Chain A
Amino acid sequence: MPFVDAVRLALAQIRVQKLKSFFTLLGVTIGVMFLIAVVSIVEGMSSYMEHDFVGKLVGVNTVTLRHRPEIGGDITEAQWREMQRRPRVLVSDAQPVVDALPPGTLWSLEGYDQVPISSQWRPAGMLEASAVEGDYFKIRELKAAKGRLLTTQEMAMGTPVVVIGEDIATRFFPNLDPLGRSLKVGGLPYQVVGVAEPQGSIFGLSLDRFVIAPYRSPLRHLVNRPNVIDVIRIKVSGDADMIETQETIRQVMRGRRGLRPSQPDNFAIETSESALSFWTNIKGKLVIAGIILPAIGLVVGAIVIMNIMLVAVAERTREIGIRKALGARRRDIMSQFLVEAATLSTVGAAIGITIGIMLAQLIAALSPLPATVAPWSIVAGVLVGAGVGIVSGIYPASRASRLDPILALRQE
Chain B
Amino acid sequence: MHTDEIPLSATAERKVVTQAAGEAPEKDWVIVARGLKREYDMGGEIVRALRGVDVAIRRNEYVAIMGPSGSGKSTLMNLIGCLDTPNAGEYWLSGDLVSSMADDELARVRNREIGFVFQTFNLLPRATALHNVELPLVYAGVSADERKQRARAALERVQLGDRVTHRPNELSGGQRQRVAIARALVNEPSILLADEPTGNLDSTTSEEIMRVFEELASQGQTVIMVTHEPDIARHARRVIMLRDGLIESDERREKFSEKLQTGGHAAIGLK
Contact = CB atoms under 8 A, between A and B. Distances in A.
Note whether A and B form a binding pair: yes
B122 A322 contact: yes
B103 A1 contact: no
B140 interface: yes
Interface residues of A, number: 22
Interface of B: 78, 81, 83-84, 103-104, 107-108, 110-112, 116, 118, 122-124, 126, 135-136, 138-141, 144, 183, 187
Contacts of B112: 327
B122 A409 contact: yes
B103 A326 contact: no
A327 B136 contact: yes
A324 interface: yes
B83 A328 contact: no
Nearest to B122: A322
Which 6 pairs across A and B sit closest by C-beta, in order of nearness? A327-B111, A327-B139, A329-B107, A329-B104, A326-B136, A322-B122
Given A326-B135, A326-B136, 18 more contacts: A1-B139, A2-B138, A322-B124, A324-B83, A324-B107, A324-B110, A325-B110, A325-B122, A326-B139, A326-B183, A327-B107, A329-B139, A405-B83, A406-B83, A406-B84, A409-B83, A409-B118, A409-B122
B126 A328 contact: no
B118 to A, nearest CB: 7
Interface string A322-357: 111111111110000000000000000000000000
Nearest to B136: A326
B126 A12 contact: yes
Given A1-B138, A330-B103, A330-B104, A325 B116 contact: yes
Contacts of B144: 2, 5
A409 B136 CA distance: 16
B140 to A, nearest CB: 7
Interface of B is mostly: helix
A318 interface: yes
Contacts of B141: 2
Nearest to A322: B122
A12 B128 CA distance: 12
Contacts of B183: 326
Contacts of A322: 122-124, 135
Contacts of A208: none
27 contacts: A1-B138, A1-B139, A2-B138, A2-B141, A16-B126, A322-B124, A322-B135, A323-B135, A323-B139, A324-B83, A324-B110, A326-B110, A326-B136, A326-B139, A327-B111, A327-B136, A328-B107, A328-B139, A329-B108, A330-B107, A332-B107, A332-B139, A405-B83, A406-B78, A406-B83, A409-B83, A409-B122
